[in-house]
Amino acid sequence: MTIKIANAVIAIIGGIGGILVLYFVLNLLVERLPVRWGDRIRPYVFVGPALAVVGLFLVYPTLRTIVLSFANDDSTAFVGLDNYIELFASADFVETLVNNLLWIIVVPALAVVAGLAVAVLADRLKPTAEKATKSLIFLPLAISFVGAATIWGFIYTSRPAGQPQIGLLNAVLDLFGADPVAWLQLSDFNTNDFLLMAIMVWLQAGFAMVLLSAAIKNVPEETIEAARIDGAREAQIFFRVVVPQIWATVTVVFVTILILVMKVFDIVYVMTGGAFGTNVLGVAFFEQLFEFGNAGSAAAIVVVLMIAVIPVMIYQVRRFRIEESR
């Protein structure tokens, strides 16, 4: 343990110190140039290392992944569009895409609704009760996805009838004399998916609550009082006065959670491993690469995910620009 801490301290000091030395040396070199050239080159010198890191660890792997998506299993020969044709011809992969679509529709919407509801209701409490309530709702956000999946595993766990039920839901059913239910192995349409989505909503509701609560507190009290004077009911004030003024924050929270959900992996992998109709793109990629050794199909899945994320990212960037211009 002591060695690990020492290594961490050395890495932090070395990393920060190395960056400082690098920029100090670069700045000395620039200062030795004529003033005219120094002023031109200085911005590129200071931005250059950051661009180099981004290019090395982000741009290059992205381009490399796109190239490998057109290669065979062991990336020794190009096969054209065969990987993409094979994926979209597979019923399992189509089911995986449908599952991902459900995740990106249901989870962000429910997380925003839950966060907004808590933010509105908690603001009506006394300060001490408000802080305690918000702390409890925010607490799951500090838990890792794997930890959250483990916790909810004890909620969904089922044992054969007649044995002690350690799963919370089945323990409740057992109290009323009902048979245990294998919650994550149900055959109903996408029921298993929704049970897993509940975990992500539980995790992200606190994030939505914090941002939306701050936005609600910034709504001018004069607009609310004016609506009350005009005879508007509380529901009308909320939906016609408050929500329009915090809509930008609602959109940011929704899109942020949506991007996170598109890359979901840990919860599904820990809870079901993608079985029982719960597979998602992240788990499908892991299976193709590490279980089946099919690097070409794995890269194709990543490219499909990147293509799906790009429109969302473009929308988010445009949204930020609009807000900055305002």
pLDDT for res 81: 92
201: its two tokens = 């909503």
226: its two tokens = 């004016």
Residues 53, 54, 59, CA angle at the centre, nearest 5°? 125
Q: CB within 8 A of 219, min separation 6: which ones? A: 241, 242, 245, 246
pLDDT for res 52: 87
Along the chain (326 residues), what's the average pLDDT of each consecutive run of 10 residues? Answer: 80 81 81 79 81 88 93 90 93 92 93 93 86 90 91 91 87 88 80 92 94 91 88 88 90 90 92 90 92 92 90 80 74
pLDDT for res 68: 93
pLDDT for res 140: 92
Residues 303, 305, 306, CA angle at the centre, nearest 5°? 65
Residue 235 main-chain phi, psi, to 5 deg: -65, -40
Q: How many CA atoms lie within 13 A of 108 on its CB side?
A: 20
Let me know: does 298 contact 306? Beta carbons within 8 Å: no
DSSP 51-108: HHHHIIIIIHHHHHHHHHTTB-TTSSSB-TTHHHHHHHT-HHHHHHHHHHHHHHHHHH
pLDDT for res 14: 81
